[in-house]
Amino acid sequence: MWWLSLAKASSFAPTQATKIAAEWDSLYQFLLVSSLVACALLIGGMIYFVTKYRRKTNHDKTPYISHNSMLEFIWSFVPLVLFLMMFVWGWSLYYDMRTVPSNAKEVHVYGQQWLWQFEYKNGKKLNNEFVVPVGVPVKLIMTSKDVLHSFYVPSFRIKQDVIPGRYTDLWFQAEKLGEFHVFCTEYCGLDHSKMLAKLKVVPLEEYETWLATTTELTGGPGAQIYNDKGCVACHSLDGSPKVGPSFKGAFGKNSMMDDGTEVKVDENYLRESIVNPNVKTVKGFPKAVMPSFQGQLSEEDLTAIIEFIKNQK
């Protein structure tokens, strides 16, 4: 039927990369077609009536039709049955979305203001990108380090909020090789729209060799903290400003504050900026955006991250 293919073409859904996505697309197409029919009936009927029964004279007589029980029964009952059918279909799709296969490989996901972090079972960590094997179910165990976020892969038609203080999960089995977008779909402040990640689907063998090679971070324990504590989300190392100022060449210069004072960036200033970021705000950057790391970093950690910043010349 030509109109079915029309609905398919006009669904505009992104690449269909999982079986769930295919299921989703069929339900959506069914809904599109039934919606078209319903709107054609309603709007078509309305347009037909208003043109046919246009006022002719100022004394037009109209019939007094107060109701019609049979008609009213039909147009209550038929939608009810249709709606219930759609509900059951939506439910069964949801059931599949939520039934995690027992052999799924687990990956941990941490959301934090404007960074996605991924951690594999062997300790391998990545920021804003991760790799999964094709044809193998993967389960994401997710939590947030600060506010709500939501993990959304349009090509897989899946989404789940990521919540502080508890775990939520999501699973998928990619059937297509390639790179897919991950969006954050729960508003989380300033750079919500930049909180994107890349999901790479590769053949199983490639995945296994990739997973086995651990990329050593250069820069010692400070670099570790820079990554794990998420400084990387807001501070670059290459001089380009992100949410916060870049660490490149930060140490030793004079930094302008938003109240007009100038501060020399020394160890104590750095320490204060990390432990108590709201005391001084760098000019041109938003206030009260950087979280305080008070109590989250030991003295040794603080020294390490400050040394790390000092080394970014």
Partner 1 sequence: MAAHVQTGKNYINEFAGLKSWLCSLDHKRIGVMYAIAVGIFFLVGGIFALLLRTELFSAGPTIMGANTYNQVMTYHGAVMVFMVIIPGIPAVLGNFFLPLHIGAKDVAFPRLNLLSWYVFMAGSILAISTLFTSKIDTGWTFYTPYSIRTSTATVTMVVAAFIMGISSILTGLNFIATTHTLRAPGMTMGRIPLFVWALYSTSILQVLATPVLGITLLLLVAERTLGIGIFDAALGGDPVLFQHFFWFYSHPAVYIMILPAMGIISEVITTFSRKTIFGYTAIAYSSLGIAAVSFFVWGHHMYVSGQSEIANVIFSALTILVGVPTAIKMFNWTATLYRGSIQFTTPMLYALGFLFLFAIGGVTGIMLALIGLDVHFHDTYFVVAHFHYVMVGGVLMALMSGMFYWLPKMSGKMYQESWARISFVFTFIGFNVTFFPQFILGSMGMPRRYFDYLPMYESLNRISTIGSYMIGFGFVVGLITVIRAIYSGPPAPANPWGGKTLEWTVASPPPHHNFDVEPVITAGPYEYR
- Least Cβ distance, residue 68 to partner 1 (angstroms): 8
Considering only the C-alpha atoms of the chain, give the largest distance between any 2 of them, rounded to a whole number of Å: 92
- Least Cβ distance, residue 229 to ligand HEC (angstroms): 4
- 274-279-280 Cα angle (round to 5): 85
Residue 244, binding choice from ligand HEC, Cu ion, partner 1, none, Cβ under 5 to 8 Å by partner class: ligand HEC
CB contact at 8 A, 255 and 262: yes
Residue 301, binding choice from Cu ion, ligand HEC, partner 1, none, Cβ under 5 to 8 Å by partner class: none
- Least Cβ distance, residue 242 to ligand HEC (angstroms): 8
- Least Cβ distance, residue 265 to ligand HEC (angstroms): 6
CB contact at 8 A, 1 and 29: no
- Least Cβ distance, residue 33 to Cu ion (angstroms): 25
For 86, 129, 243, 283, the CA distances from 195, given in Å and listed in that order, are 34, 11, 12, 24
Residue 235, binding choice from Cu ion, ligand HEC, partner 1, none, Cβ under 5 to 8 Å by partner class: ligand HEC
Instruction: CB nearer to partner 1: give 6 or 148.
Output: 148
Q: Cβ atoms within 10 A of the Cβ of 206, count?
A: 14
Instruction: CB nearer to partner 1: give 114 or 308.
Output: 114
Instruction: CB nearer to partner 1: give 216 or 259.
Output: 259
Residue 182, binding choice from partner 1, Cu ion, ligand HEC, none, Cβ under 5 to 8 Å by partner class: none
Instruction: CB nearer to ligand HEC: give 66 or 254.
Output: 254
Quote the tokens at residue 139: 């389960």
Residue 279, binding choice from partner 1, ligand HEC, Cu ion, none, Cβ under 5 to 8 Å by partner class: none
- Least Cβ distance, residue 123 to ligand HEC (angstroms): 20
Instruction: CB nearer to partner 1: give 82 or 257.
Output: 82
For 184, 186, 229, 286, 287, the CA distances from 189, given in Å and listed in that order, are 11, 9, 19, 12, 13
Instruction: CB nearer to Cu ion: give 184 or 202.
Output: 184
Q: Specify the pairing of strand 137-144 against strand 105-112.
A: parallel
Instruction: CB nearer to partner 1: give 194 or 264.
Output: 194
For 64, 146, 247, 266, the CA distances from 300, given in Å and listed in that order, are 87, 24, 20, 17
Residue 270, binding choice from partner 1, Cu ion, ligand HEC, none, Cβ under 5 to 8 Å by partner class: ligand HEC
Cα gap 288→278, rounded to integer Å: 6
CB contact at 8 A, 127 and 92: no
For 136, 244, 293, the CA distances from 277, given in Å and listed in that order, are 44, 11, 8
Closest CA relative to residue 109, chosen from 90, 96, 125: 125
Cα gap 293→276, rounded to integer Å: 7
Binding site for ligand HEC (CB under 6 A): 113, 229-231, 233-235, 243-245, 250, 255, 265, 270, 273-274, 277, 280-282, 285-286, 289-290, 293, 305
- Least Cβ distance, residue 123 to partner 1 (angstroms): 26
- Least Cβ distance, residue 5 to partner 1 (angstroms): 17
Instruction: CB nearer to ligand HEC: give 135 or 249.
Output: 249
- 98-100-103 Cα angle (round to 5): 175
